[in-house]
Amino acid sequence: MDFGDDGFSAVKLFNQGYSYTYDDVIFLPHYIDFPTDAVSLFSSFSRNLKLSTPCVASPMDTVTESSMATAMASLGAIGIVHSNNTSSEQAFLVRAAKSYRIPFSSDLIFLSSSDSILSEDFFNSSPCAFVTESGNRQSKFLGIVSRSDWEALGDKEVRVSDYMRKSPVQFLPNGCNVEHVAGFLAKETHELVPLVSSDCTDEGQTIKGFPKLGFPSVGPDGKFLVGAAIGTRESDKVRLDHLVKAGVNAVVLDSSQGNSIYQLEMIKYIKRTYPDLDVIGGNVVTMRQAENLISAGVDGLRVGMGSGSICTTQEVCAVGRGQATAVYKVSSFAAQQGIPVIADGGISNSGHIVKALVLGASTVMMGSFLAGSTEAPGTYHDQNGVRVKKYRGMGSLEAMTKGSDARYLGDTAKLKIAQGVVGAVADKGSVLKFIPYTMQAVKQGFQDLGASSVQSAHDLLRSGTLRLEVRTGAAQVEGGVHGLVSYEKRSF
């Protein structure tokens, strides 16, 4: 039987002259032959940077500073520190976020199983001690004594053999790099793991207070990956120097319309001056825009114009594109050049993330989705009985007074035209809690589509295996909660 008319291929759907948003389209389910836990969301943020959680915190002054960047990196995602500040202030925020690192320790404490620990001073600053047959580094490993286990003892004079965590303790080879060690600790929910060569303990590694929520985003030096936004003015070259010295891993050229001579020249300057630094260009919504930036040397593209909840660009300027169409069109071209796409804007639930990733994006950038969280800048206040935090568009007049007007190429204009608004977002709690739940929902969406990875989703879409349809207004209502007098909606 021919099922060719059961839905549309992406090629056919997105070439009919309509500008679709995420809510306009729906995927038809595919065949499931794997469990949800088998879904991998590893993806590329840029040409050289990989993430285990395909989420990016937007460079907005009410979304991403050091706390958000640190939290996102610990989750396997990445935060982009905003540039609505001085270059030294921005560099300080980057440096603060990167000050958290996964510590390796070679100054280890050894003892034998017959020893007793009588004082807390024995541990010095170490969280544990290693027990071997002879009480030294060269003898057989027997187990671990943690400071917390010792502190819980009633009788401190007992031998360590009575309460040590006995072998077999899981080991890793001494040659493991920091990414493998961090990923192992996160996956196995361990606080430490010995790195061994042959039969002796060479090094130990520990993480204290590390969220066991996924493979963290770390560089070869063990420090968290952190990005930062810059503009295209001459002064941004000085800002760039400050950021590189602070250890930034990638820069995002922050412009609402990235296809400009100013951005092209800045991309070329950055690649000449710092060839190893990844550069994200944008924002773009068409293939022609993408082609210009890719030719200039970008390592990633940011897609979206006027799709953010606080953005009024399409209303004010009559320019932009529906986000579903923009992501599909740009990523279809960028994929041929090996350039990852960041879907920026329009994300308000896990289903939107699924749609963005399947339509071709490698990661999603979020503003309002993360605003109002514990890690977002600002203080909470009461608004009609609801605990909220301020959330404003970088095109709002309020943000422009601090310098974000350069993002809209309006820093020299005498009359400022707002392309965003100032609002408030309800308290969401910590991203360390709701992002993992959101990603689990995304994995379930991928399972329903028969895609076990981001790349397999892209392959299924481009081959025409995955089918889509446009939803009518009534279908969108039916697809949400409806027909109830009252209800309580909880995501987890």
CA distance linking residue 446 with residue 36, whole number of Å? 8
Q: Active site residue: 128, 311, 392, 467, which one?
A: 311
CA distance linking residue 102 with residue 23, whole number of Å? 40
Burial of 258 (0-12, 13-18, 19+ CB in 10 A): buried
311 is catalytic: yes
Element housing 270 (H / E): helix 261-273
CA distance linking residue 245 with residue 341, whole number of Å? 27
CA distance linking residue 91 with residue 381, whole number of Å? 29
Element housing 252 (H / E): strand 250-253
Could you please report the per-residue DSSP string of 351-406?
HHHHHHHHTT-SEEEESTTTTTBTTSSS--EEETTEEEEEEE-TTSHHHHTTTGGG
End-to-end, the C-alpha distance of the chain in Å comes to 41
Give the position of tokens 């891993």. Answer: 249
Give the position of tokens 């995501």. Answer: 491
Q: Active site residue: 239, 302, 407, 467, which one?
A: 407
**Ramachandran region, residue 463 (left: φ > 0; alpha: ψ -120 to 50; beta: rest):** alpha
**Chain center to CA of 44:** 10
Q: What angle do CA 290, 295, 296 make, to 5 degrees?
A: 100
Residues marked as catalytic:
311, 407
